[in-house]
Amino acid sequence: MTLHTSTYKGKRILIILTDGTKLIGRFKDKKSGAIFTDEHGRIPTNTIKAMTIYKPSMDRP
């Protein structure tokens, strides 16, 4: 199954990495196997487990 890694520019996204780290940032672009965010820069897609639109209620236990 392929990872859905595209959304509108400027949209706040939640990225979960394969090691379990959660990153929240604003989507800039997707190019050549990487996601670009304002806060975290370039994130290779092979290190991403999941990506979704960020909603603040998602961080609650």
Q: Tens place of pLDDT for every residue, the chain, 61 residues?
A: 456 677 889 999 999 999 999 999 999 999 888 999 999 999 999 999 999 999 887 555 5
CB 37 within 8 A of CB 43: yes
Query: What is the spatial order of strands in the sheet that 48-53 belongs to?
Result: 41-44, 34-37, 22-31, 12-17, 48-53
> Is the domain 12-56 a CATH 1.20.1440.230 member?
no
Q: What is the pLDDT of residue 58?
A: 56
Q: Where are the domains of the chain?
A: 12-56
